[in-house]
Structure 1
Amino acid sequence: MTETPTSLTPAQLGAYFAFTEVSSLVRHAVEKQLRSAGDLSYVQFQLLARLGDAPDGRLRMTDLADGVVYSRSGLTYQAQLLEQRGLVTRTPSPDDERSTVVALADAGRAVLAAVFPGHIATVHQLLFAALSDRDVDELARILGQAADRLRATPPRSAGPRQRKTP
């Protein structure tokens, strides 16, 4: 059995503070760019981008919530706002009447096309411009390991929904 540490080493503390600072600074700049280019919140962009990556541009609401690590009720509200703007549609799932399917509308694809160039430029300039390709590979490896560990015991919003059996 592994004992839970009661403190962090100076290196761990420094890495943690650097990670949180970089995360906050990048997210702030990305949110500003998304608002300016597409009148989107960060969560709305994540929702549209995940739909854009889906093979048919459609996902169940619970899968979207699990993927973006956002509460299901909060994501429902964000999807409602996007639907009001005509960027997505929401319909009952043909497979499960309790489930809602969200689909990317043509207007949503247009907004993604408008925000992506600035989004990519912002992320590149703030996060990757100062790093070598080797640094980026190492960063991806390290953060991938951390993400895998966190996804092994995710918070409710990041894990698969537990189905109640009748």
Structure 2
Amino acid sequence: MSETPASLTPTELGAYFAFTEVSSLLRPAVEQQLREAGELSYVQFLLLARLGDAPDGHQRMTDLADGVVYSRSGLTYQAQLLEQRGLITRSPSPDDERSTVVAITTAGRDVLATVFPGHIQAVKDLLFAPLDVDDVSELARILGRVSEHLRAAPPRSAGRRRKA
């Protein structure tokens, strides 16, 4: 006797398809804006934005990879490209020689300042235009809960490393 696989309700299936469609439609438009305004890939933008938001403008590479949910090797390559452009610096951590610290440069902040106005407008126009304030609050609440759930058992790139 074989078990019947679990199924999604019509509402769950509709929500899933709507979520994947929105993601599939939004990301290419955002990526195009980032390429045109700052010659940045989406991951490079996320890396710079996280560094720009860090109080001291720097983070450990592993923390950046965990935050942007990207493989450490892939992020190393993206960081190398940004470093070649003078947008970040990489150096050994003063606290742990095995760790690399990434810092945003003035040129990196300048690129963010160039990219952000168009990025914000694209997100407003594409994602938030059809929503009212309550819808946006509800969307943030719901996606926040899903994110917390997914990070409870994350892929390695998304998980926080546990200290020994």
Query: TM class, shorter-chain normalised?
Result: over 0.9
User: In the alignment, what sits opposite 1:110?
Assistant: 110
SS at match of 1:108: helix
SS at match of 2:91: strand
Residue 24 of structure 1 deviates from its aligned partner by 1.2
SS at match of 1:77: helix
CA distance in 2, matches of 1:95, 1:141: 36
Are positions 1:80 and 2:68 aligned together? no
Q: Which runs of 4+ in 1 moved over 2 A?
A: none
Percent of aligned pairs sharing the same letter: 77
- Normalization by structure 2: what TM-score? 0.95
Computed over aligned residues only, the root mean square deviation of the Cα atoms, in angstroms, reads: 1.0
CA distance in 2, matches of 1:48, 1:89: 11
Residue 160 of structure 1 deviates from its aligned partner by 1.4
CA shift digits 1:66-105 (9 cap, x unpaired)? 0000000000000000000000000000000000000000
User: In the alignment, what sits opposite 2:128?
Assistant: 128
User: In the alignment, what sits opposite 1:43?
Assistant: 43
Residue 162 of structure 1 deviates from its aligned partner by 4.5
CA shift digits 1:84-141 (9 cap, x unpaired)? 0000000000000000000000000000000000000000000001001000000011
1:35-74 superposed matches below 5 A: 35-74=35-74
- Normalization by structure 1: what TM-score? 0.94
- What 5-or-longer segments of structure 1 have no aligned partner? none
CA distance in 2, matches of 1:9, 1:151: 24
CA distance in 1, matches of 2:81, 2:9: 44
CA distance in 1, matches of 2:159, 2:114: 31
